[in-house]
Amino acid sequence: MSVEGSKAPVSTRVLTVPNVLSALRLVGVPVFLWAIVTEHDVLALVLLMASGLTDYLDGKIARMYGLESRLGQLLDPVADRLYIASTLLGLAWRDILPWWVVVVLFAREAFMGVVVLIAKRHGWLGLPVHFAGKAATFNLLYAFPLLLLADGDSTFARVAEPVGWGFAWWGIVLYWFSGLLYAVQLRRLLAHERAVAA
């Protein structure tokens, strides 16, 4: 099992299309948070959908054209987490989402913070991204706009609610599953390090 530092080197370029897309997502976070808290739902939905689209495109373009960079590896997960955090807080503030969902997902972030801290203490820049983690983000970024659309009495709102919660449950489970995969991976790396040292 390899660590990020042992992979093929990535570019140190800053001005690339994937990095610009990730930067635009970051710029949109405070605007999105303002929109959702002040109930400008159309703007919030547009920004959420744009975030999901650019999240898909920046990774696709980076892999397809060999534009993977250190900056991109930093910006992409930061943008994901900021959108998820701001959406969670905004939806919970408006009583669309129960606060236990916020606690469960923030607890996973705290858990991952410990995993990453231990990895860095052993000189590892990070652990390889798992498909489960990307799938979790995908599900959550679909769940949130659907749950926002479900905040109403229309027929569409009644349909959006169970679909949104379906994506939310898959996202929550996969988010924690990916965290546990990282922990297992870290445990194996530590065991390998001890075996080499012995």
State the pLDDT at residue 9: 56
Cβ atoms within 10 Å, residue 37: 15
State the pLDDT at residue 7: 47
**Amino acid letter at 84?**
I
Identify whether the C-beta of residue 126 lies closer than 8 Å to the C-beta of residue 4.
yes
State the pLDDT at residue 103: 95
Residue 110 backbone zone (phi > 0: left; psi -120 to 50: alpha; other: beta): alpha
Q: Which two tokens stand for residue 43?
A: 């703007």
Gyration radius of the chain's alpha carbons: 18
State the pLDDT at residue 102: 94
Q: In whole angstroms, give the CA distance from residue 88 to residue 105.
A: 9
Q: In whole angstroms, give the CA distance from residue 147 to residue 160.
A: 7
Identify whether the C-beta of residue 75 lies closer than 8 Å to the C-beta of residue 26.
yes
State the pLDDT at residue 59: 74
State the pLDDT at residue 4: 42
pTM over 0.85: no
State the pLDDT at residue 60: 79
Residue 132 backbone zone (phi > 0: left; psi -120 to 50: alpha; other: beta): alpha
State the pLDDT at residue 173: 96
Q: In whole angstroms, give the CA distance from residue 118 to residue 190.
A: 10
Q: In whole angstroms, give the CA distance from residue 43 to residue 153.
A: 20
State the pLDDT at residue 12: 66
HEC string of 158-178? HHHHHHHHHHHHHHHHHHHHH
pLDDT tens for the chain, 198 residues long, are 334 444 445 566 667 877 888 888 888 889 988 998 898 989 988 888 888 788 778 777 877 877 777 777 777 778 878 888 888 999 999 999 999 999 999 999 899 989 988 988 888 766 666 788 888 988 988 898 899 889 888 898 999 999 999 999 999 999 999 999 989 988 988 888 888 877
The CATH number corresponding to 4-197 among 3.90.1300.10, 1.20.120.1760, 3.40.50.880, 3.30.70.2470 equals 1.20.120.1760
Identify whether the C-beta of residue 140 lies closer than 8 Å to the C-beta of residue 168.
yes
Q: In whole angstroms, give the CA distance from residue 12 to residue 19.
A: 11
State the pLDDT at residue 151: 86
State the pLDDT at residue 175: 92
- φ, ψ for residue 125 (rounded to 5)? -70, -25
State the pLDDT at residue 11: 61
Please report, for the chain, the start and end positions of each structural domain, with discontinuous segments joined by +: 4-197
